[in-house]
Structure 1
Amino acid sequence: MNDTCEFCRIIAGDQPAHVLYEDDRTIAFLDRNPAVTGHTLVAPQVHEGAILTSDEPGSATVFETARTVADALQATLEPDGFSVFHTSGSLVGTVDHAHVHLVPRFADDDVSLSLSRTRLDPDEAAALTEQVHKIL
């Protein structure tokens, strides 16, 4: 546990939260500043900075928990869909405890997760594909 981490304090029961789901590896609770009703944060029980690059068992199960909670939110709220995202690194967010946002989506919500896009350059794509294949 990291005593300065808000999520670790929630997991320890030292800070209140509306916990929707909890098991020995993960926790899911309502975001205190939700984009929409049902906006949920899913995190590993163990403090870590990233999900995708971690070897901790809780990281592997975060997306399983997100699916479990999404099923319950679907039955409860009947959203039109979900946005699910994880960000990591110093450029994003203020919480250094790894987590996934599970955001129920509704046709009339004001949520915007748009990305600025460009056309895929075939030469850059081929080079990147080759580099990744060498690692995998």
Structure 2
Amino acid sequence: MNDCKFCQTIEGERPVHVLCENESAVAFLDRNPAARGHTLVVPRAHHECLFTGDEPTVGAVFQTVQQVVRGMNRTLDPDGVSLFYTSGEIVGRVTHAHVHLLPRYADDRVHVALERGRLDDDAERLAARLRSECTVPAGE
């Protein structure tokens, strides 16, 4: 993926501030942070959707997420941490799967808001359908 900015970053072609890494994942400071310490955790292999990748890669990414959050808590003493992940074309310009970690403070200007609704009468049927699909092994 020569045109992927994150693949280029992982290959050392784009300078970043790496926080930690392992065989399958890398964590580095976001070049355009929404908050001080804003970090991206990415799989080394190019995946457009993290959750269609293999389980060891997903595990390595979230193990790295855990390491970074521990480091953030010790270094920055935030009031909390927001974690978010999106996939598909809605992600934006970078299609390489990535997890955002943002240290949060009561007085910060970060807005990660969801417009909320209520469960409707179809909730039980929806839950049953989702339950049945959640039990299907990966790759099927």
Cα offsets for 1:64-112 (capped at 9, x unmatched) = 1011011011111111100001100112222110010011001111001
2: CA distance, partners of 1:52 / 1:108? 33
2:124 corresponding residue in structure 1: 126
Distance 2:66 2:25 in 1: 12
Q: State the Cα RMSD in Å.
A: 1.1
| Unmatched 5+ stretches in structure 1 | none
1:79–1:105: 8 Å Cα contact kept in structure 2?
A: yes
Which segment is superposed worse, 107-116 or 52-61?
A: 52-61
Q: 2:91 & 2:22 partners in 1: Cα distance?
A: 27
**In 1: Cα distance, 2:51 partner to 2:111 partner:** 24
Q: Residue 52 of structure 1: SS of its match in structure 2?
A: helix
- Paired amino acid for 1:124: D
Measured at CA, do residues 79 and 38 of structure 1 come closer, stay the same or move farther in structure 2, by a change above 3 Å? same
CA distance in structure 2 between the partners assigned to 1:82 and 1:56 by the alignment:
24
Q: TM-score, normalised on structure 2?
A: 0.91
- Structure 1 residue 61 displacement after superposition: 1.6
Determine the structure 1 residue equivalent to 2:67: 68
In structure 1, C-alpha distance between the alignment counterparts of 2:124 and 2:100, rounded to whole Å:
32
Contact 1:51 1:60 in 2 (8 A): no
Residues 58 and 133 (structure 1), Cα distance of their counterparts in 2 relative to 1, 3 Å cut: closer
1:88 pairs with 2:90: no
TM-score normalised by structure 1 residue count: 0.93
Shift of 1:56: 5.7
**Percent identity for Structure 1 against Structure 2:** 49
- Amino acid corresponding to residue 130 of structure 1 in structure 2: A
| Residue of structure 2 equivalent to 1:100 | 99
